[in-house]
A and B are shown apart, each in its own frame.
Chain A
Amino acid sequence: MAKREAPEVNAGSMADIAFLLLIFFLVTTTIGVDQGINRLLPRYEENPPPPPINERNILRVLVNKDNQLLVNEQVMELKDLRVAAIEFLENNGTGQCAYCQGKGNPKSSDSPDDAVISLMNDGQTTYETYIAVQNELVAAYYFLRDRECKKRYGVTFREMEYVYNDPASKAREGLIDDLKPKVEKIQQLFPMRLSEAEPKKNF
């Protein structure tokens, strides 16, 4: 018997398979995006004038070379820092802050506008601890801002701020102008007054 001719492979569905794979990969891959804590550094001044702030309006956070925390002269664990900071910020000692839910302790901060958190590191503190402390303090501010923003505008402050700061938002007409007053309002309600003192040099 004569050999049969080899049939040609039907390649018509190859494109379908290719697109299927393409779509699969498009959906499943996540592109690695860098994340981090955004901060705005203060402007450099040769001799910064000491701000006239009442002692009760300052929450002093000290981190020593062994990465231990001292908050207002008391040793504290890192996990308690966030709650302590929130309590301090919205303490509302003068009773004029309508949106605060603090205890109104007269020995603590007057209002969120006056409250300052002062962070001081040792030169030998590790970066990991520094970031952990920063993270907790930023979390405290964002907790309060998110709560207020959610109440007023129905979105968290974090989402709103991201869109506001995204250079891509310029493309959408009126979006930035719409968000600007809202973002500034929330920032004004809970201003982030987080000052960092120069660490003592001991290398």
Chain B
Amino acid sequence: MSKFKKKKSGGTPGISTASLPDIVFMLLFFFMTATTMKDSDLKIENTLPKANQTAKLHKKQYVMYIYAGKPSERYRASLGASDRIQLSDKISTVNDIRNFVISERASRNSEDEKYLTASLKIDKNVKMGLVQDIKQELRKVDQLKVNYTTSQGSVVE
């Protein structure tokens, strides 16, 4: 009888992969909770102004986004340097807001419609003339709930 086991033939034993699902699920859960989807690629500068009297926006399904600002460096040659509006992913004019709001409304079910808020993400250097035009358009289509989306901070320096 031999005191030593005979060495098995073949290379190193395989590492157990039993915990691989755990790791994968962990990563999955992490990314599921931590990510916020960026749904449109901004062609304009968008530094939000600061405010501290803010309320949180409710779930994304109740929000539509309207962006405004100067075209960013890359697009300045084609779009010019004056303030522009961006709806979802294309540069638009004030007149497009009406159709945008109507199509946003149509894409939600009627139950959610009354909660639908227009989030105005407007660059802090935009002139009020344009903002007023946007608001006027929103009023004309009866989209009265708006949220001036801001970053958190004190307004009094």
Name A's B-contacting residues (CB within 8 A).
2-3, 5-6, 8-9, 11, 14-15, 18-19, 21-22, 25-26, 29, 31-44, 78-79, 121-128, 130-132, 134-136, 138-139, 142, 158, 161-162, 165-168, 198-199, 201, 203
Contacts and interface: CB of A to CB of B under 8 A. Distances in A.
B128 A199 contact: yes
A183 B147 CA distance: 20
Contacts, number: 189
Interface residues of B, number: 66
Nearest to A139: B53
Contacts of B29: 22, 26
Contacts of B155: 78, 131-132, 135-136
Interface string B52-92: 11111111001100000000000000000000000000000
A87 to B, nearest CB: 17
Given A11-B15, A123-B127, A33 B34 contact: no
Interface of B: 4-5, 7-8, 12-13, 15-19, 22-23, 25-26, 29-30, 33-34, 36, 49-59, 62-63, 112, 115, 117, 119-120, 122-129, 131-132, 135-136, 138-140, 142-152, 155-156
Residue of A22, A36, A42, A132 with most partner-chain B CB within 10 A? A36
A5 B150 contact: no
Contact of A134 (B17, B62, B142, B148): B148
Nearest to A9: B15
A127 B128 contact: yes
Nearest to B136: A44
A148 B147 CA distance: 25
A128 B151 CA distance: 11
B144 A199 contact: no
B128 A36 contact: no
Contact of A122 (B7, B22, B128): B128
B131 A127 contact: yes
Nearest to B122: A127
A125 B150 CA distance: 17
A97 B7 CA distance: 96
Contact of B57 (A36, A122, A139): A36
Contacts of A161: 55
Given A37-B55, A135-B53, A165-B58, 14 more contacts: A5-B8, A29-B33, A35-B54, A35-B57, A38-B145, A38-B146, A40-B146, A41-B145, A125-B128, A128-B49, A131-B124, A132-B156, A135-B52, A168-B59
